[in-house]
Structure 1
């Protein structure tokens, strides 16, 4: 979830669903919630430390303009509203918050409260999946993990060959 927040390769609800599937409602929700909190904090502090030019490179000017408009319209309540509405990008709001004068404490409280309903819902739905699908999901996850490891090893070894 932390990597998902920073580089956003997957929608967060899929990871939360998977955590519910693999670890049950409560452990899946706890893992998803705490990881999302850490990822949101990381995005906030990246934006705060490195500024808008870096955030625009990570996201896009269009995404940041959307974030700006949302902050102009809803002010301090932006984070809470955005966390409660699942179609609003978690990452864009986290980065956007870091570019404002918002205190981190308010950001963290609003993020924690706002993401809780969806986290519990997706974890619950993941937990309700039957056993055979759960086994298939584990197998798929292992195949993906092994594929990523092989790709990383190949990339690293080919990079070293070009350096030498």
Structure 2
């Protein structure tokens, strides 16, 4: 008598591999991570050497930019939130420069608030578009069995999948919004855990922008935090892939 088949829940990394054809995300590749670490160390050394021995200041005069933004009144934040939301819908638009501009214009608190408002709005619209028009196409894109496994995972693990996806800088925020809309995750769970997961990396980037107008060391420290999260995420990713290969009888 045959034993009943057991269903193995895929991990977050396995879901990403299924949806990206098994290709490692750019910011999780060993060469890229190594290059980022080396580049960051070189930037820190260059900053220390030039500021210590040549007295060069890297602080940007932010007041003219802030005065220009303030000149728009209430329209300024409204337009910014709209641009932030549109950047989510049009995935090729990078978010980091927008975060830093918000920090430079409004400081860490208001800058983070406006960025989060735009991100949550854009994520909600992206989720709705995918749920309305793309949900029925998910089995065709990744196969019926994989679609069922992902639905099972998001229903059992709930917002944890979304939260940790948002926390990893190597995973695109916009990509997650569209993919989540094609799964069975409830909207309220998606939007709450999305906001919680986006808050930390967004705040770090906004603080980096604010540091440009105050002290470049703040920007360097924020960049170090961002890089540290990438390195930690990559280490977990590499370990899980190595363990998976060993379980499958492949080379580690």
TM-score calculated relative to the size of structure 1:
0.65
Shift of 1:53: 7.7
Partner of 2:180: 97
**186, 189, 192: which is aligned to 1:106?**
189
Give the distance between the partners of 1:14 and 1:53, measured in 2 at CA: 35
Contact 2:151 2:185 in 1 (8 A): no
Contact 1:97 1:107 in 2 (8 A): yes
Contact 1:2 1:39 in 2 (8 A): yes
Deviations 1:109-136 (A, max 9, x none): 11111011111111111011137xxxxx
Partner of 2:96: 13
List runs of 5+ in structure 1 lacking aligned partners.
56-60, 63-67, 132-164
Deviations 1:66-117 (A, max 9, x none): xx6x947963322111111011011111011111111111001111110111
Give the distance between the partners of 1:97 and 1:44, measured in 2 at CA: 7
Structure 1 residues 126 and 72, CA, compared in 2 at 3 Å: closer, same or farther? same
| SS in structure 1 at match of 2:194 | helix
Q: What root-mean-square deviation, in Å, do the aligned CA atoms of Structure 1 and Structure 2 show?
A: 2.9
Contact 2:107 2:210 in 1 (8 A): yes
List runs of 5+ in structure 2 lacking aligned partners.
1-83, 215-252
Q: Which has the larger radius of gyration?
A: 2
| Larger RCO: 1 or 2 (CA < 8 Å, sep 6+) | 1
Structure 1 residues 72 and 89, CA, compared in 2 at 3 Å: closer, same or farther? farther
**30, 51, 54: which is aligned to 2:113?**
30
Deviations 1:9-54 (A, max 9, x none): 3222221111111111111100101100001001000011112588
- Structure with more helix by fraction: 1
